[in-house]
Structure 1
């Protein structure tokens, strides 16, 4: 008798590069006011078009089958529920324009409220449900083509630059105008622009009575030179004179009103001259009337109140606004610690910080309704790419419940390598957290080639999150070792700040201590070890091959090569001095001492350079300089360039180019390590 397809046993197979095309990712999550439903956006890859699309879905918090609310090849994002729970507003990019759409909570056709030539962000409803609030940035005028019609692909005749910060990786040249605050009538779509001018206004939020709007804005004489001096402001919700709320100098992000409207919580710190992410973002509360001053509620918590965990399943990091309890006595927020990002709480008067989500893993985004009894969140770990979970905030300990199983069926037939703890002590006794992954088809008694992975940043952390690249390398028979050396976040400010102005010293020693730990494993062949990393991890890869010959092969991606030239060409070049503690006009020698290009004569390790041609963070010229120098010196080097791709190719680049990148890495390591 022939077995039915549903009764056939599932075959376990190894993960492939092409499996990347089958993943689906939860990108945004929003809990309904009655806490009975969760809206989320689900992103997927169109293999034929080589593009990403995202649609709106809704699932009951009690569990059950998710329901697709929008269809088609669109880019839906930022879902927000109306106060009465009857509608969902969201932003979507359709017909070459960003727009705001509203759809009934029971489903139906989405109604376009407004669309404009620009970008919408920070969408929210007014308390009475009659207005939608957002930040909007209009694009520059589109050039007119030969046919007399706007040509979005045509370049302008010239670009007149007057600002330091005029380009951004992933976006290109920035529009002349910045983000400003708008409200839109939810019935008519009529818009009202509340702010304008040379300054930007970000993260607007309605007060509980709907009379005021708070927002963050840097209004220094030159915001680009003092980019972390961001202040907290309020303005009447109908427009009018704005007023600054007293906060210490430093950044203000994601403001959130208290239930009684007397206080505003925000994420930030009081170090306006901080280097690249060393100062911990903390949870602050400021009285709206300015009396008493702002207070750091998490002053004794030596961890960043944000998502510092990186993976190749998402681009960027979510930083939700702090959420108030119904009685205003507690605040809920995310924070990163020792390889996990989780949900935490602190009394609104200050006090002990408590971790609510104790399950190790990667909290990527979270949402709580007014009253904050339940949290809905997007969660990942070593075996889960991204799923929707919930937990009761009052439970001790809280028990997370998985609501969606988007990747379950797809991953059930694939064998995965399970990372194991492999922490070690560095040269000076400092503990360094690390993990090791054995080959998927590991057999005791054999020795395997290994690859040492180095994260970017540097002020981020590897963590307990799904990593397709690592799983792919393990499936191809490699041992994978990844760690969090000093310079990374999640282990305290002293740990993160240890390399400021001194790249290539302590961090290099930590990485090499990790290499020693890897080589001691009985299943690792110490003569067949490779090294790779991207961005700052690429810098460290370049630095390593210029200072030791112990690795058989290396792959460097979108890397820092020359601190001198990068400070004049990167989109954040004007901020390099804050991290390096040197400028090209005051101390060029220090920049060159911290530049791998200065040590290319020492390189003997075969090096593959991967770089993206539209990378504005670590410009393509960085890769070009390294390739030219090594080629002139007759070293073993090859250079692969990815057209049109920004810095984040490995996380959200064009799918076929992501596959090509993985293919080149595999070919290089297979050539020299097998």
Structure 2
């Protein structure tokens, strides 16, 4: 979603954050330290890639905070580390991509580098491994910047990837923002382009225009063209107005805009596009279009457009699920990974000229997973008979799953985190109806649940708002599930604005932030309280990003919550509009800029009704948050402090929207746990 202009922020953070970090932490409950230690034992699995012939499986797993590559048979047997690292955890290797011959594996590695890259770490380069030989990986190219999304051309002659030459940061609005110095919007602009390398190594070529920022791409079946989603620079800001382009896969090739949502008529007008995918016969390109609040949090309807251009067709209009990822299996069929009632399910669709019809659901995942390439992405063999992905749930820590398609949910083929067991309670889906909408959420029971007792409950609102909460194993860092381990019910809602009930449900909170979605959430709390022994006088509220906004706004509408933790929130949409550097995302949701319709922004701004807030509130944010600027947290904290409402603000130095420093990840969760322990006593 969201990005800041922080001219005074470094000074403010220097004055306030050290005091907060030193003085505001309560005495630590020993259970919290034990929980944090347990969460820290999880080894993250970041990528999974099945070879095109379905015989080999590669995955990227972290050891001591560093990613490394494992290679195994498709059933997980004979697993062994590959790459340049002499021992796990000494350097970083990732970005795996199988060549069409199923023998060669391209990847990124900084293990042999002596050159400095982003943030002072070593510069990764591109390598290729012959998995059938005993030779060391071959050095394909020397890089000077940030590279990701490696993808082979179908003929196996060329490797393409997204590349930011001379990058100083990861190409994402979630990463810590660059300092706001110099001529803003002019100096220091970094451009992500498609780069290519010959399969045998050689000179890198950047094939897309220098003034166009590319977000995603795919190869045409003929290996001669690429389709990509791109917008003018700066890239963090303009994804919300990106177009779909087609061009030849050579430098200086002419390009054509295939779809421009800003000018097209029909339901796609003014919305966002993602995941361009060529049909196997090369005649058309399908993509997902919808109201999306973050690049990478993909959901909407599936559209199709002729590869030569024309009007896009909505293939899935009126469905009551949210497609998030798909792949063609033939010119007349798709496999779609979609969100349905808070769960991911893989479904088969038949495709006609103007309609895609669901035929059957192949399996519903018990948790959340993917292959690391995109939200709910899956890795298939070339014939689509086998699938692989990483998954975790609230019952099982992350593992690699693989198996034949059509035999139900695949089985785990690794035991990387097998010794980890949940310290929180069971989880179950809860569904209710409100104001004509069907709504769903996830309820996590307290650890060691006793039905004869009454318990406090923490309500969590997810970020986005265009997203969905699905059950997954928690890690160190901010999240709601750990509260269950300390004796709370945890209720994670998917109110209107969320994925999982169709595009009309996603768009139901446009120009209405904080109202209908709050009513959905409160109706869900009512439904839960009829089901389990929750003490309505000990309700807490929390969330991050859009959930942080809701945590700031809800106490202006209801006194039902007795404690709040607001992570990276937004207190004032009007001042936010002028502070952030990604204001393009706001117009699809608010209908106009703040200069054209200030009233719609004022309507959802907590600061305008701040005197109604009585709830003790902990506020946490990253000092360089590129989505939810830290001044918003200062504004809310300043108001509460002035009004005498118990509050604490903690600004974490050098952190963006997602925290990377392990010490800060632990600290922010510990503070939240302590806050609820203080104001929602057991």
Instruction: State TM-score, norm by structure 1.
Output: 0.82
CA-CA distance at 1:23 after TM superposition: 0.8
Matched, 1:525 2:525: no
Preserved CA contact (<8 Å) 1:332 1:343: yes
Moved more, 661-670 or 94-103: 94-103
Unaligned runs of 5+ in 1: 1-12, 47-51, 143-152, 167-174, 307-318
CA-CA distance at 1:209 after TM superposition: 3.6
- In structure 1, the partner of 2:510 is 500
Matched, 1:104 2:109: no
- In structure 2, the partner of 1:385 is 397
- In structure 1, the partner of 2:317 is 299
The whole-number CA distance in structure 2 between the counterparts of 1:247 and 1:592 is 30
Preserved CA contact (<8 Å) 2:432 2:527: yes
Unaligned runs of 5+ in 2: 1-31, 118-122, 170-175, 371-376
- In structure 2, the partner of 1:558 is 568
Q: How does 1:271-310 map to 2 (within 5 A)?
A: 281-290=300-309, 294-306=312-324
CA-CA distance at 1:99 after TM superposition: 2.0
Moved more, 475-484 or 509-518: 509-518
One of 38, 46, 70 as aligned partner of 1:27: 46
**Residue 239 to residue 570, structure 1, CA distance change in 2 (3 Å):** closer
CA-CA distance at 1:563 after TM superposition: 0.4
The whole-number CA distance in structure 2 between the counterparts of 1:79 and 1:406 is 19
Preserved CA contact (<8 Å) 2:208 2:251: no
Preserved CA contact (<8 Å) 2:192 2:235: no
**Residue 473 to residue 252, structure 1, CA distance change in 2 (3 Å):** closer
**Residue 517 to residue 141, structure 1, CA distance change in 2 (3 Å):** closer
- In structure 1, the partner of 2:338 is 335
The whole-number CA distance in structure 2 between the counterparts of 1:57 and 1:115 is 23
The whole-number CA distance in structure 2 between the counterparts of 1:242 and 1:288 is 12
One of 539, 548, 556 as aligned partner of 1:538: 548
Higher RCO (CA-CA < 8 Å; seq separation 6+): 2
The whole-number CA distance in structure 2 between the counterparts of 1:127 and 1:417 is 47
Residues 66-99 of structure 1: CA distance to partner in whole angstroms, max 9, x if unpaired? 2221334333332111222221001235543232
Moved more, 527-536 or 614-623: 527-536
The whole-number CA distance in structure 2 between the counterparts of 1:668 and 1:633 is 19
CA-CA distance at 1:614 after TM superposition: 1.3
When the two structures are aligned, how many residues end up with a matched partner? 609
Moved more, 72-81 or 598-607: 72-81
Describe the SS at the equivalent of 1:466.
coil
The whole-number CA distance in structure 1 between the counterparts of 2:677 and 2:181 is 46
Residues 392-424 of structure 1: CA distance to partner in whole angstroms, max 9, x if unpaired? 33x2x534222222211233xx54411123333
Describe the SS at the equivalent of 1:385.
coil
Preserved CA contact (<8 Å) 2:190 2:234: no
Residues 485-517 of structure 1: CA distance to partner in whole angstroms, max 9, x if unpaired? 222121122222222111222122222223333
CA-CA distance at 1:221 after TM superposition: 13
CA-CA distance at 1:136 after TM superposition: 1.7
Q: How does 1:57-456 map to 2 (within 5 A)?
A: 57-70=70-83, 71=85, 72-93=89-110, 95=113, 96=117, 97-106=123-132, 109-139=136-166, 159-162=182-185, 175-218=188-231, 227-237=240-250, 240-245=253-258, 249=264, 251-268=272-289, 281-290=300-309, 294-306=312-324, 322-325=326-329, 327-349=330-352, 350-353=355-358, 354-364=360-370, 365-393=377-405, 395=406, 398-411=408-421, 414-426=422-434, 428=435, 430-456=437-463
Preserved CA contact (<8 Å) 1:14 1:415: no
Describe the SS at the equivalent of 1:432.
strand
Describe the SS at the equivalent of 1:305.
strand
CA RMSD of aligned residues (A): 3.3
Preserved CA contact (<8 Å) 1:177 1:198: no
**Residue 226 to residue 386, structure 1, CA distance change in 2 (3 Å):** closer
**Residue 115 to residue 334, structure 1, CA distance change in 2 (3 Å):** farther
Instruction: State TM-score, norm by structure 2.
Output: 0.81
The whole-number CA distance in structure 2 between the counterparts of 1:429 and 1:347 is 30
**Residue 239 to residue 551, structure 1, CA distance change in 2 (3 Å):** closer
